[in-house]
Each structure stands twice: as C-alpha cells, then as structure tokens.
Amino acid sequence: MLNVINVINTLHIQFKNYAPIPLLLQRMMTIESIEVLNGPSVWSDTRHKLIQMRLNLHELEQCPTNTIPGFFERLNKLIPTLYSHRCSPGVAGGFFERVKEGTWMGHVVEHIALEIQTLAGFDTGFGRTRETETPGTYNVVFSFINEDIGIYAATAAINIAEALVRSDRYEIEKDLDQMRIIGRCDVSKSSKISANNVDLI
C-alpha cells in the first residue's frame, strides 16, 4: 500500500509540475519541472516569490546567442526595453552585451520572463540562471508579483525565445494583455508592487 501511495504521490507531483504547461510538444526547449517558491531559498534569503523552472535546452545548448544569425537584432527589435537590464556587467545594456557576446538560451528566457511581467504592469526584476548537474539543463529562476502571471511568463518567455531563434513573427502584446487579464481576475495573488522588487537584473 505504501508503494502505491508513493507512486500516486510521485505521479501527482509530476502532473502538478507539468499541468500549467500546455505546449510541451514540438518545443525546442522543454520544461522538466516548474515550482513556485514562497520563502527563503538557495537563490535568495530576501526574495521570497520566485518561479524555479528546470529547463532543458536540447540542441540549443550547442547554440549560444552569438551563433544564431540575427538573434540579437530580433530580440532588440521585439523587446527594446531589455536594454535596461544590467545583468552581470552591472550597467544598462549589460544584458544586451551578454547576448552579443554569447549567452545560453535559459539566461535569455529568464530576462524575457522578467521583462514581459514588467511590461504588463507587474514590475519585478530578480533572476538567476544556473546549469544543473545535467549538461544542457538549467535552473531558470525569476521573481514574480502574481504567481499565476509568473507561471504564464515562464511559458510565454520560452515561446518568445523560440520564435526569435526561428525568426518567426511574434505578437508580444497578446501575452501582455493575457497577463493583465489574469492580474485583474486574480488580485488576491498579487502582492503589493514595491520598488524593492526592481533591481538586481
């Protein structure tokens, strides 16, 4: 009986991890798990509202951004406000410099997930991306104001990054509208927007 319960629990966890992700098929990248963290974590003692997504880059692991023709130009055209992300260089334009020099797609997904939340009116800006013990699989972590919007942003950011890789047209406004609708319907899950949420990217 205990084994059965363990199996059911495992399946439940797997289902729960996959449930919010409607479009896993035919992706370039796949979400292996997604968790909502609501407290101190290995990522931060003070940032208590974080999405942690385990993301498998598959073949894109072999394709840092500087090896994808036109990737930076398309990213800059679709989301020019990413210029404000300082990233590790610590200055405005720092993230764009990393993209030009070559960074991995998990890191790009992190920054897009943060920026589309901000553009939708849920201003937030803490993120980290680290490779796991499995090559090509990353923990992508980013802050949220509203949990449901954060989860939406995770999948939308992957859609956007993949469209940029393929040079497909992408209507980002539809995502922003959808996040605003979620926010209006779900104000109880939105914490007060604070200037403290807007740094460190």
With contacts defined by CB under 5 A, name the span among 69-77, 85-93, 114-122, 163-171 that binds Zn ion.
Answer: 85-93
Q: Closer to Zn ion by CB, 31 or 87: give it.
A: 87
> Of 21, 60, 75, 87, which lies in the binding site for Zn ion, with binding defined by CB under 5 A?
87
Give a three-class secondary structure readout of 82-99: HHHCCCCCCCCCHHHHHH
CB of 87 to Zn ion, least distance (A): 3
Q: CA-to-CA distance for 180 and 182, rounded, in angstroms?
A: 5
Q: Closer to Zn ion by CB, 87 or 105: give it.
A: 87
Asked if 113 interacts with Zn ion (CB under 5 A), we say: no
CB of 108 to Zn ion, least distance (A): 9
Asked if 167 and 75 touch (Cβ cutoff 8 Å), the reply is: no
CB of 98 to Zn ion, least distance (A): 6
CB of 25 to Zn ion, least distance (A): 29
Sheet with 30-38, side-by-side order of all strands:
30-38, 49-56, 137-143, 127-131
Sequence-distant (≥ 6) Cβ neighbours of residue 117 within 8 angstroms: 123, 124, 144, 145, 149, 150, 153, 179
CB of 15 to Zn ion, least distance (A): 32
Q: Closer to Zn ion by CB, 87 or 172: give it.
A: 87
Asked if 158 interacts with Zn ion (CB under 5 A), we say: no
Applying CB under 5 A, the site for Zn ion has a residue count of 1
Q: Closer to Zn ion by CB, 65 or 146: give it.
A: 65
Q: CA-to-CA distance for 155 and 54, rounded, in angstroms?
A: 12
Instruction: Record the tokens describing residue 29, joined without a space.
Output: 């990248």
Which candidate, 76, 9, 36, 57, places its Cα nearest to that of 162?
57
Q: CA-to-CA distance for 134 and 8, rounded, in angstroms?
A: 26
With contacts defined by CB under 5 A, name the span among 31-39, 48-56, 79-87, 115-123 that binds Zn ion.
Answer: 79-87
Asked if 112 interacts with Zn ion (CB under 5 A), we say: no
**What residues make contact with Zn ion under the rule CB under 5 A?**
87
